Amino acid sequence: MERMSAAERRVARVFQADRAEVLHASAAALAAKAGTSDATVVRATRMLGFSGMKELRLFLAAEMRESPSPAERVAATLQEVGDDAGAALDAAVAIHQDCLERLRREVSGGLFRSAVDLIVSAGRTVIFGIGPSSAMATYFEMQLERFGLDAMSFTRTGLLFADDLHRLRSGDLVVILAYDRLSREASALLGEAERMKLPKILISDTLGEALEGRVDLVLPATRGRAGMFSMHTATLGLIEALLVGIAARRPDETLRSLERLKALRSETAGEGGMRTPSAPRG
């Protein structure tokens, strides 16, 4: 750091302060954050021993994949919040706002439209997510089905995941929710999708650089601050934005499907609203 100029040191501090943002932000965005120029960002990268931004990002992604345990993440979050439970709300909301602002900056209109196009044109959308991401995958599947699109979620692990892979078919689009590291299941899914020549969208915070040659689109979605409690606001925000984009692309079909769902609910609930299950008769 001693050989670096004041501006280059500011860039290095930006790199250090938020590694997740460095993975996705452009040199221009990082320069603006450091109050300097694109050229200074490039020079600072080389002064730190990297050939360019690509090599720096690959290094940071590998470093972040050696992720702390859930307990370590929560401990780091509590250290920042302190023992004031009331401060947790302000801290969490601030992180959520930051994640959504990054989502706005890092997912361009063109990239977003390409993702919507892939989903709308797919014969079926298959969403992969395990652990906490399984809830996101299941939610995305449910809403796509409600909008009249064929969808399926893969949320199982281990040997049962082979049964999921066996259900892939020609015309599928694969959407992968993967963070920190590539699980054995995600790696197997990528391999099978490649073998079947299926289009793939990756939603991730750290894996974009490593997998950019193996997927058709990378949609960056950060999960809060590095090393702290993982928060899924950006992922949920991105999924719901995609749903609105899909509805905008096919409004008539979406509305017809939702009207049919409403009719089915009325038939199920009856005229007077939700019925309680009748007691079994002996």
pLDDT (tens digit per residue) in 50-89: 888 888 887 777 666 555 555 555 555 566 666 777 777 7
Domain membership flag for residue 76? no
Query: Phi and psi dihedrals of 172, rounded to 5?
Result: -70, 150
Q: Is the pLDDT of residue 168 over 50?
A: yes
Structural domain containing residue 30:
6-65
- Determine the pLDDT at residue 99: 83
What CATH number corresponds to the domain at position 18? Answer: 1.10.10.10
Mean pLDDT within 241-270? 95
Same domain, 176 and 123: yes
Dist. CA 131–CA 136, nearest whole Å: 10
Mean pLDDT within 144-154? 98
Mean pLDDT within 30-59? 85
Mean pLDDT within 110-120? 98
Q: Is the pLDDT of residue 282 over 50?
A: no
Query: Phi and psi dihedrals of 151, rounded to 5?
Result: -150, 160
User: Which of 43, 65, 87 is the C-terminal boundary of a domain?
Assistant: 65
Please give the share of the chain, as a percent, with pLDDT higher than 90.
46
- Determine the pLDDT at residue 15: 80
What CATH number corresponds to the domain at position 161? Answer: 3.40.50.10490
User: For residues 54 and 162, which has the higher predicted lDDT (pLDDT)?
Assistant: 162
Same domain, 12 and 116: no
pLDDT band per the 50, 70, 90 thresholds, residue 151: very high
Domain membership flag for residue 276? no
Same domain, 154 and 256: yes
User: For residues 84 and 260, which has the higher predicted lDDT (pLDDT)?
Assistant: 260
Mean pLDDT within 4-11? 85
Model pLDDT for residues 84-110, shown as the tens digit of each residue: 777 777 777 887 888 888 899 889 999
Nearest Cα neighbor of 239 from 159, 121, 142, 165 is: 142
Q: How many domains does the chain contain in total?
A: 2
Q: Is the pLDDT of residue 276 over 60?
A: no
- Determine the pLDDT at residue 174: 98
Same domain, 133 and 244: yes
Domain membership flag for residue 1? no
- Determine the pLDDT at residue 71: 56
pLDDT band per the 50, 70, 90 thresholds, residue 144: very high
Dist. CA 91–CA 101, nearest whole Å: 16
Domain membership flag for residue 279? no
Cα-Cα-Cα-Cα dihedral sign, residues 161, 162, 163, 164: positive
- Determine the pLDDT at residue 264: 94
pLDDT band per the 50, 70, 90 thresholds, residue 268: confident
pLDDT band per the 50, 70, 90 thresholds, residue 47: confident
Mean pLDDT within 136-162? 96
Q: Which range is least confidently modeled, 27-41, 222-236, 243-257?
A: 222-236
Same domain, 119 and 45: no
Domain membership flag for residue 278? no
Beta strands in the chain (DSSP E): 124-128, 151-154, 172-177, 200-204, 217-220
Mean pLDDT within 240-261? 97
